[in-house]
A = this chain, B = another copy of it.
């Protein structure tokens, strides 16, 4: 009656989905632990399949109409709440940034006006340093998980990888405050990525009924008891984040569909759409409020962030070649951007590992360097005289404007300062604006483009919330405008439109999404006549960049060691069978199992699922009964429903359990075997696992091709896949496949010959080819 393989130590090869911390593979080709916010953390997998056992299933079956309505209503109420909160939050972050950064620019500008240049620089750089320092300090000490964009972590979560604490209240607050400070500090970082992370956080927290750690829980909110429902909420939250950041509700839905989500259903599309519609309405109402001038320096921004509606767009066939060149260049620049970013992240990682002090020092030196550049570079530009009939005051004094005075005499403006000495949003507005073809000098535009390009790469890796979207847009706009200036009057398109197309090309080259970027750009600029050109640009830049490397989020995910599972099988997986990657023996329980065995296995392994088999005399022949989860075993042990002999559990004992006991706990709130105290007598008793076992786990025969098994695993969203033997008479289960076993790195470790095969070579030479097929 002892469990097979009980006496064995923790096995490296077959791990039944233990946290990946335990899995440093010998060859060390890949890091199997996640780097989240400069910390190395274990990762959990998530189970997006609906688990059924005798408790979870009857619960579902016995639900009354009222309960079903409550369940449905709850989903919609949560989406409504997410929409409202994310909408408000997005507005608040914008408001805070505009006012903080605006105040800084107003004060500095006033100093400049009084020609106290040194004083202005000191105020400018010290306030920047202050903001950066604060953002870095709270991130490093309170929530290291809040560093960076957050999109890769959310994307991994939606794929079934749970890095701890990424959705905690602590992370949320640090992300909000840190993002405001980082953006206000004139670092070249964006707020869209952090907004996505915030949206996902809010959704996850609402889905688990609030934050347990801080006692902020509402019982009526704790309605969703499985990973699947929470995943759906997080998808809605991330869509709401993009919608709030760019005031682009449809773009938000599409971004979460195209880039974020790994599983998708029609009903989810609808609910995501509802959430972003709520965000749009909340934003629209708040903007109405600001029209009366109560938002300080936020001004009276409309729903469209960078409006180019008023521009007449006429172009003909001969305008297309310059656009094609622009797109080609954008694709190449995008892939260079991605690979430089990846390199910088690796270098920063070396520094960051050496301690908190160095991390903070890195951020501070970067802030000082940025301040010097922003303040120093405009001096290189010569003052230009204001146009005779400017569309707005020239030179502008104060926060924003197309014609910044900076150090110039009255009647003159500094074109480089209009770009550098501004928030990113204002710089983008300037670059996109029409009727300004003669405003900028070639040299200024080139300086601005190069500085932005490198500043955004160097700013991303610091230990503070930092998005990539807006820096890429502003860099791309500068690039596009520069290309437009090169073509000059040879094109019908004005330089503002070139800037829009330049942004599109760099976004396409870096993010590599198509439909969602297209819609986001349209929602940012509100001019559909550009649509055919934007589509061409995105297609070309993405295709060109795909030849060289992966999209920026995938690179960051790989760098962080998040084991993302793609939805296609590598070609060599079709040559392998499931049996080729499953290596036994494995941990197994019997239907009636000794308590001490269960405890021992749970203590000595970190496995998450165990096959349950019945053997004679309890069945004719050995037979696979099902799969039991670690969490359910712990619930069972805690209840102490044991018996002295291997016999079915009594009805009375079963009545002690409710479906709630088997509900998935909130993130990071799982029980631990170490907290369990059992007497020696109890240890010698037996426990009946049958009612607690999921009797219909997905299974594959050992001769199934690995590629086909992967499709099943990935499409259905599994955490464990049982492998059964082809020939009967043997042990009824051969092994368990988990996410780890499908990872190309693992497969190639096991079968190094494949690495030399034609397929592997192909993959190495043309890593992106498989995505095209």
Stoichiometry, as copies per complex, reads 2
A511 to nearest B CB, angstroms? 13
Interface residues of A in 616-634 (CB under 8 A from B): 619-621, 623-624
Taking a contact as CB atoms under 8 Å apart, the answer to whether A699 and B696 are in contact is no
Taking a contact as CB atoms under 8 Å apart, the answer to whether A539 and B277 are in contact is yes
A474 within 8 A of B: no
A696-729 near B? 1/0 per residue, CB < 8 Å = 1011110111001001100110000000101111
Assembly CA distance A254 to B739 (angstroms): 31
Taking a contact as CB atoms under 8 Å apart, the answer to whether A532 and B773 are in contact is no
A772 within 8 A of B: yes
Binds B, one of A181-189, A266-274, A334-342, A433-441: A266-274
Contact of A529 among B303, B536, B696 (CB under 8 A): B303
Contact-size category for A? 35 or more
Please give, as numbers and ranges, the residues of chain B lying within 8 Å of A527 by CB-CB distance.
Answer: 526
Please give, as numbers and ranges, the residues of chain B lying within 8 Å of A528 by CB-CB distance.
Answer: 303-304, 522-523, 526
A7 within 8 A of B: no
Contact of A280 among B68, B532, B696 (CB under 8 A): B532
Contact of A285 among B303, B317, B769 (CB under 8 A): B317
Nearest CB in chain B to that of A263: its residue: B715
Nearest CB in chain B to that of A262: its residue: B266
A80 to nearest B CB, angstroms? 11
A509 to nearest B CB, angstroms? 14
Contact of A71 among B273, B288, B773 (CB under 8 A): B773
Taking a contact as CB atoms under 8 Å apart, the answer to whether A273 and B316 are in contact is no
Interface residues of A in 659-709 (CB under 8 A from B): 695-696, 698-701, 703-705, 708
Taking a contact as CB atoms under 8 Å apart, the answer to whether B266 and A258 are in contact is yes
A368 within 8 A of B: no
Please give, as numbers and ranges, the residues of chain B lying within 8 Å of A758 by CB-CB distance.
Answer: 64-65
Please give, as numbers and ranges, the residues of chain B lying within 8 Å of A695 by CB-CB distance.
Answer: 703
Please give, as numbers and ranges, the residues of chain B lying within 8 Å of A716 by CB-CB distance.
Answer: 711-712, 715-716
A68 to nearest B CB, angstroms? 7
A526-543 near B? 1/0 per residue, CB < 8 Å = 111101100110110010
Please give, as numbers and ranges, the residues of chain B lying within 8 Å of A771 by CB-CB distance.
Answer: 266-267
Assembly CA distance A574 to B63 (angstroms): 13
Interface residue SS majority, chain A: helix
Taking a contact as CB atoms under 8 Å apart, the answer to whether B304 and A529 are in contact is yes
Interface residues of A in 486-519 (CB under 8 A from B): 514-515, 518-519
- Residues A531 and B250 in contact in the complex (CB < 8 Å), given A269-B515, A519-B519, A773-B68: yes
Interface residues of A in 723-770 (CB under 8 A from B): 724, 726-729, 732, 758, 762, 769
Please give, as numbers and ranges, the residues of chain B lying within 8 Å of A309 by CB-CB distance.
Answer: 309
Please give, as numbers and ranges, the residues of chain B lying within 8 Å of A64 by CB-CB distance.
Answer: 758
Assembly CA distance A696 to B304 (angstroms): 54
Assembly CA distance A592 to B316 (angstroms): 68
Taking a contact as CB atoms under 8 Å apart, the answer to whether B316 and A288 are in contact is yes
Please give, as numbers and ranges, the residues of chain B lying within 8 Å of A304 by CB-CB distance.
Answer: 528-529
Please give, as numbers and ranges, the residues of chain B lying within 8 Å of A624 by CB-CB distance.
Answer: 701, 726
Please give, as numbers and ranges, the residues of chain B lying within 8 Å of A712 by CB-CB distance.
Answer: 698, 712, 716
Contact of A249 among B61, B75, B276, B531 (CB under 8 A): B531
Nearest CB in chain B to that of A76: its residue: B772
A77 to nearest B CB, angstroms? 13
Taking a contact as CB atoms under 8 Å apart, the answer to whether A280 and B250 are in contact is no
Please give, as numbers and ranges, the residues of chain B lying within 8 Å of A264 by CB-CB distance.
Answer: 264
A52 within 8 A of B: yes
Taking a contact as CB atoms under 8 Å apart, the answer to whether A277 and B68 are in contact is no
Taking a contact as CB atoms under 8 Å apart, the answer to whether A52 and B269 are in contact is no
Taking a contact as CB atoms under 8 Å apart, the answer to whether A728 and B621 are in contact is yes
Assembly CA distance A698 to B620 (angstroms): 26
Taking a contact as CB atoms under 8 Å apart, the answer to whether A266 and B567 are in contact is yes
Interface residues of A in 629-662 (CB under 8 A from B): none
Taking a contact as CB atoms under 8 Å apart, the answer to whether A526 and B529 are in contact is yes
A55 to nearest B CB, angstroms? 14
Taking a contact as CB atoms under 8 Å apart, the answer to whether A519 and B250 are in contact is yes
Most chain B beta carbons < 10 A, residue from A254, A532, A695, A769: A532
Taking a contact as CB atoms under 8 Å apart, the answer to whether B621 and A729 are in contact is yes
Taking a contact as CB atoms under 8 Å apart, the answer to whether B303 and A727 are in contact is no
Assembly CA distance A745 to B341 (angstroms): 56
Q: Nearest 7 pairs between A and B by C-beta?
A: A728-B728, A277-B535, A715-B715, A696-B704, A280-B532, A526-B528, A273-B514
- What would 17 A/B residue contacts be, using CB atoms closer than 8 Å? A52-B574, A65-B762, A75-B772, A76-B772, A250-B522, A253-B515, A258-B269, A264-B264, A273-B535, A277-B535, A280-B532, A303-B529, A303-B531, A577-B696, A620-B729, A696-B703, A699-B700
Known A-B contacts: A269-B514, A273-B538, A728-B729. Give 19 more (CB < 8 A): A68-B769, A75-B773, A76-B772, A250-B515, A253-B515, A265-B568, A273-B514, A273-B535, A274-B539, A277-B532, A281-B535, A285-B317, A288-B317, A522-B528, A526-B529, A621-B728, A698-B704, A715-B715, A728-B728
